[in-house]
Amino acid sequence: MKFWIGAAVVAAALVAMAALVNYEYFFFAGYTVLMFVVLSTAWNILGGYAGYVNFGTPAFFGLGAYSAAVLYKATAAPLALQIALAAVMAGLLGFGAGLLTLRLRGIFFAIATIAVTVIMQTVFINWRYAGGATGLQLLRPEPIAPFESYIKMLFIVMALTALASVAIARYIERSWIGRGLRAVRDSEEAAEASGVPTLRLKLFACTVSGALMGVAGAPMPMYLSFIEPASTFNLTYAIGAIASPMIGGTAHWLGPVIGAVLLSSLQQIVTVTVSNETNVLLVGVLLVFFVVAAPEGIVGLFRRLLRRR
């Protein structure tokens, strides 16, 4: 119950922000932060709970973005339909990739997901209709009624997506699915031997995780009015999606949220004030620091602090 009240408060606060703030850049930056909340939460479903490192965030994100863009180019379908298609396509990719690779041990799975990303990128570079390597210019439609600007609308859409994905992750974490996934992470052999349907659970996690990443990507073409393979399938998304849960803590649904909000807000600031390179360096240093010194992340640090008192 507490969670839902909290979620409602956050949603109300974000809507109020959209109504009151009239500073376009705020929504531009806020959208990115929320997008990384979705990506990190989605990553954590497979990476945090089941312990399978997915470097392939850009593949799912990019497929979602391209599904939306191509659908829009072909039929001028509304955003809701674009998002739905993105979820289905990225979910299918998750299922397919999972079927092919989830029998693999840790690092092999991780490398296989990089492979999926590069192959997806190559496919879209070579697909003329979707713009090929040069990309596709898209004309934004008018925003829907209560919104006066399209960016604000996308901000709210991403906010709702973020809340939904956190709710899904929290549900999975607390249900038997989450227990099963944790059993997989701790010892796959032991889980299998005690009757946990490990492959089916991993496939489920991979599909849900992929679909959510696709949804995170779906509004991107409209956000930029443009789509192009090199930046859409960029490793940056993988870096953010991995670093945020590691920094926030992978065991609890709140971890990726805290990590993503902190990390991408910090990134927004550093990119604007210093440089993009410093920003990536910062992420690398933070990632290594937390992985080495605070393996349970910020959530773990807080827990330890509370226990000590």
Partner 1 sequence: MGIPLDLLLEAVLFGILLGGFYAAVSMGLSVSFGLLDVPNVAHPAIMVFGSYCTFVVVGRFGLDPIVAGLALTPVFFILGMAVYRFYYEVFERRGGREAGVRGIAFFFGVALIIEVGLILAFGVDQRMVDAPYIGKSVALMDDIRIPMRTLVAFGVAIVLTIALTLYMSKTFTGRAIKAVAQDEPALRLMGANPVRIKQWAFGIATATSVIAGSMLIIVGPVEPGIDRDYIGRTFAVVVLAGLGSMTGTVAAGLILGISESIVLIHPSLGASWAPAVSFILLLVILGVRPQGLFGR
In the complex, which residues of this chain contact partner 1 (CB under 8 A)? 47, 51, 53, 55, 100-101, 104, 106-108, 110-112, 114-116, 118-119, 121-122, 125-126, 133, 185-186, 235, 239, 242-243, 246, 250, 277-278, 280-281, 283-285, 287-288, 291-292, 295
Q: How far is the CB of 126 from partner 1 (least distance, A)?
A: 6
Angle at which helix 24-47 crosses helix 235-248, to 10 degrees, equals 70
In the numeric block, which tokens belong to residue 14? 């974000």
CA distance 245 to 42: 10
Provide the minimum distance between the beta carbon of 239 and partner 1 in the complex, in angstroms, as a whole number: 7
Least spacing, CB of residue 242 vs partner 1, in Å? 6
CB 166 within 8 A of CB 10: no
- Kindly give the residue spans of alpha helices, DSSP state H, lying in the chain: 2-20, 24-47, 57-75, 79-101, 106-125, 150-174, 176-186, 188-193, 198-217, 220-224, 229-232, 235-248, 254-273, 276-293, 297-308
Least Cβ distance, residue 288 to partner 1 (angstroms): 4
Query: Hey, what are 261's tokens?
Result: 């909000």
Angle, CA of 114, 61 and 24, to the nearest 5°:
135
Minimum CB–partner distance for residue 123 and partner 1 (Å): 8
Separation of alpha carbons 73 and 62, rounded Å: 16
Cα–Cα distance between 270 and 172 in angstroms, integer? 34
Which of 148/277 has CB closer to partner 1? 277
